[in-house]
Structure 1
Amino acid sequence: MTAAAQESTRRLRAGVIGLGWAGQQHVAAYAADPTVDLVAISAMEEHLLAEFGDRYQVEGRYPDWKQMLSEAEIDVVSIATPTFLHAPMAIAALEAGLHVITEKPMAENAEAAGRMVEAANTAGRVLDVSFNHRQRGDVRALKEVVDSGVLGKLYYAKTGWIRRQGIPGLGTWFTKSASAGGGAMMDIGIHMLDMALHLMDEPAVTAASASTHAEFGPLGRGGSGFGISAVEEGVPFEVEDLATAFLRLEGGGTLLLESSWAQWIAHDLCYVTLYGADGGATIEWGGPEEPRITVWTEVAGIPAELHPAAGEDGRHAAAVANFLQKVRSDDWAAHNGALALRRAEVIDACYASAKAGAEVTIGG
């Protein structure tokens, strides 16, 4: 029996590194899965180890993640730590023979993300990245609309996540270039990039023209309320609080992407709008109306506006379940993190374009 076949027939033993909000979602997801034993957690914060260890009856509690990897008998591990730690932790876990899922973004840049993919290929293990927002019920419903062919050929899309006030952890690793890799685009824009390309059936991005701005953070304004809400003395705000990008897609299509942590707008808003030869569609949430899907098309030659029903949101639990399904599949090589690496390459190109003030070609 192959290793993959063995994984598909037995209970998996799971561990989680990092017990911030995202890590807590992974812990809950494993604990709720009847086919998984959550046996190890790791965090620097002793009170979190005690709280979540007690809540979910986890025996293995490790202040040192390296000790957890070497001592805990686990098959899969979630990494929910600051971005700059994703690559070293994931590579160490893969080299130890574990299957890995990290929080987004994959890494602080495409070079580090590429090393993660190489490690997955060498180890012959699954490497996944949690893009939990694609597990929303409305996103899944819109994907069914697109796949049905109702919209026809998609040639243009707009997407964005813009906040009225929401810079996370001013003065912490979130707003330092080396540890975060970027600002609003790296943190929340990548969610919208992932959703749009997923809905459009993964066209390759061939070029990026982008611009970045930092108008709130350097003044200590726009904080979200978590972490530090003012710039620490001697610690500059090194990333952007707003970014926009024009992306060229293989086949001639285009995608507009915007993301902001702080901006003078009426309210927070997330949206994806698709334009096809036979119809258009949009989803948005964050405004005064309930989230919904709207489709514009023709039925028997008559203009029609449709509102498909959306199922329940899956979020992190669905992302973890999808990862476990990949681990239990018979083709680990197909799940080596390559798609998330492509996302990282696009984000890198956007930052390079903003710095150069010119369009940057991707690939080729």
Structure 2
Amino acid sequence: MSAPTTNESGTLRAGVIGLGWAGQQHMDAYAQLDGVELVALAGLEPDKLALLGDQYGVPPERRFGDWSELVAADCVDVVSVATPNNLHAPVTVAALDAGLHVLSEKPMADTGAAAQTMVDAARRNSQVLDITFNHRRRGDVQALKQVVASGVLGDIYYAKAGWLRKEGIPGLGSWFTQQSASGGGPLMDIGVHMLDMALFLLGEPDVTSATASTYAEFGPRGQGASAYGPWAKTDGATPDFDVEDLATAFLRLGGGGTLLLESSWAQWIPYDQCYVTLYGTEGGASIEWGGFPATYRKLGIWTQKDGVPAELTPYVPEDGQHLQAVTDFVSAVRAGANVEHDGSEALARARVVDACYASAAQRQEISLGS
């Protein structure tokens, strides 16, 4: 593997491609880390590029309007990719082939085939490739992961996970709601977070088949738009919307377990609801969050001790979020852990999402093979 630094101080030089909310989370994380310097940005919006460049002290000559210029400039060692989904694969592959380590936003890519090209590029170049699943860095998820690993719940045979929004279509008419740019709707956007969280907690079982359905009942009518800042509805009476706004899937797991997954951008519900629930032979557990009128978060673990019902209260660390994802990525780069961090785990999620969309389109169960 090539050396991860190219300057005498040993400082990692970082770049970020994509100037939206996600890209800004990466910028902020790099700016907080010791031994890392944010030295380059790339994005299509000149005003935002100038503003963020000034904010993070990026020299004008390293503010690029075209991502390919940043990749070719030989000015960074690591790069974050926070572009629309359809660009994750081409940008990542080009960066890996240029000798850079890459942290890409989720979802890994708009298709499983595109995600495979990213893994192939990481392997042939012996570079680190990570995908930013920031929600698995939540404190309650990390705490529950330890509980599962301890064996307290026994064998987990059934799980449910979902993220349902009341009104949360991210920009009606934006790239999020266009199949050609996003690859899909809430399953691709927020459902993949819950899929990642569930499989992470379950110990990475293989998904052997998927049976799924998708619906588009709000977006095509111009309803269900997010009211929040960067994701608020775009202008125009007729939204450009050709993805689903709800997806539900029944996933069979290796070893006989099952996972029920659902995600939606808009529903007639009182408030946003997120959850992951685990059913084990010796105990059960659930994480829930959402909110109205006040945000709530709950972690519950139920079992028995000497025949007496017991509810456990584990220590819950602070949330890691994007900062922890970027920290883990930088640590993998410094450790030369390219074999362990080649994107394979995220590729498995991309294959599951592919199977769900295929099942919905064909109205039948789809096998993911061995």
* TM bracket, shorter-chain basis: over 0.9
**Equivalent of 1:83 in 59, 78, 85:** 85
Deviation at 1:307, TM superposition (A): 2.6
Asked whether 1:44 is paired with 2:44, we answer: yes
Taking the TM superposition and a 5 Å limit, the aligned residue runs for 1:140-155 are 140-155=142-157
SS in structure 1 of the partner of residue 167 of structure 2: coil
Structure 2 unpaired stretches of 5+: none
Q: Which deviates more from structure 2 when the two are superposed, residues 65-74 or residues 111-120? A: 65-74
Counterparts of 1:32 and 1:282, CA distance in 2:
33
Deviation at 1:141, TM superposition (A): 0.6
> Contact 1:98–1:125 (CA<8 Å) still a contact in 2?
yes
Number of residues of Structure 1 aligned to a counterpart in Structure 2: 362
> Contact 1:292–1:310 (CA<8 Å) still a contact in 2?
no
Asked whether 1:107 is paired with 2:109, we answer: yes
Percent identity, please: 57
- The match for 1:16 is 16
- The match for 2:188 is 186
Counterparts of 1:293 and 1:66, CA distance in 2:
44
Asked whether 1:295 is paired with 2:297, we answer: no
> Contact 2:168–2:266 (CA<8 Å) still a contact in 1?
yes
**1:186-234 deviation per Cα after TM superposition (whole angstroms, max 9, x unaligned):** 0000000000000000000000000000000010000013456268567
SS in structure 1 of the partner of residue 301 of structure 2: strand
**1:1-52 deviation per Cα after TM superposition (whole angstroms, max 9, x unaligned):** x635879x93211000011001001001001111101111111112222222
Counterparts of 2:4 and 2:111, CA distance in 1:
34
Counterparts of 2:4 and 2:189, CA distance in 1:
36
SS in structure 2 of the partner of residue 170 of structure 1: coil
**Equivalent of 2:359 in 331, 334, 353:** 353
Counterparts of 1:263 and 1:232, CA distance in 2:
22
Deviation at 1:287, TM superposition (A): 3.3
Q: Which deviates more from structure 2 when the two are superposed, residues 12-21 or residues 55-64? A: 55-64
Counterparts of 1:84 and 1:231, CA distance in 2:
23
- The match for 1:209 is 211
Counterparts of 2:110 and 2:122, CA distance in 1:
18
**Equivalent of 1:244 in 230, 243, 248:** 248
Deviation at 1:173, TM superposition (A): 1.1
Asked whether 1:26 is paired with 2:32, we answer: no
Counterparts of 2:356 and 2:159, CA distance in 1:
17
> Contact 2:5–2:11 (CA<8 Å) still a contact in 1?
no
Taking the TM superposition and a 5 Å limit, the aligned residue runs for 1:55-70 are 55-59=55-59, 60-70=62-72
Counterparts of 2:349 and 2:5, CA distance in 1:
32
> Contact 2:208–2:251 (CA<8 Å) still a contact in 1?
yes
Counterparts of 1:230 and 1:16, CA distance in 2:
25
Paired AA for residue 301 in structure 2: V
Deviation at 1:308, TM superposition (A): 2.1
**1:96-117 deviation per Cα after TM superposition (whole angstroms, max 9, x unaligned):** 0000011000111001001111
Q: Which deviates more from structure 2 when the two are superposed, residues 280-289 or residues 133-142? A: 280-289
Deviation at 1:177, TM superposition (A): 1.0
Counterparts of 2:10 and 2:22, CA distance in 1:
27
Asked whether 1:255 is paired with 2:254, we answer: no
Paired AA for residue 14 in structure 1: A
SS in structure 2 of the partner of residue 3 of structure 1: coil
Counterparts of 1:328 and 1:236, CA distance in 2:
43
CA change 1:343–1:114 in 2 (3 A) is: same
CA change 1:268–1:5 in 2 (3 A) is: closer
Counterparts of 1:41 and 1:13, CA distance in 2:
11
Counterparts of 1:118 and 1:330, CA distance in 2:
17
> Contact 1:296–1:303 (CA<8 Å) still a contact in 2?
yes
Counterparts of 1:222 and 1:133, CA distance in 2:
24
**Equivalent of 1:307 in 300, 313, 319:** 313
Structure 1 unpaired stretches of 5+: none
SS in structure 2 of the partner of residue 344 of structure 1: helix
CA change 1:155–1:123 in 2 (3 A) is: same
CA change 1:237–1:26 in 2 (3 A) is: same
Deviation at 1:89, TM superposition (A): 0.4
Counterparts of 2:245 and 2:140, CA distance in 1:
27
Counterparts of 2:367 and 2:171, CA distance in 1:
33
> Contact 2:220–2:239 (CA<8 Å) still a contact in 1?
no
Deviation at 1:265, TM superposition (A): 0.7
Taking the TM superposition and a 5 Å limit, the aligned residue runs for 1:130-141 are 130-141=132-143
SS in structure 1 of the partner of residue 291 of structure 2: coil
**1:65-99 deviation per Cα after TM superposition (whole angstroms, max 9, x unaligned):** 11111114111000001001111100110010000
> Contact 2:107–2:188 (CA<8 Å) still a contact in 1?
yes
Deviation at 1:333, TM superposition (A): 1.9
**Equivalent of 2:171 in 169, 172, 176:** 169
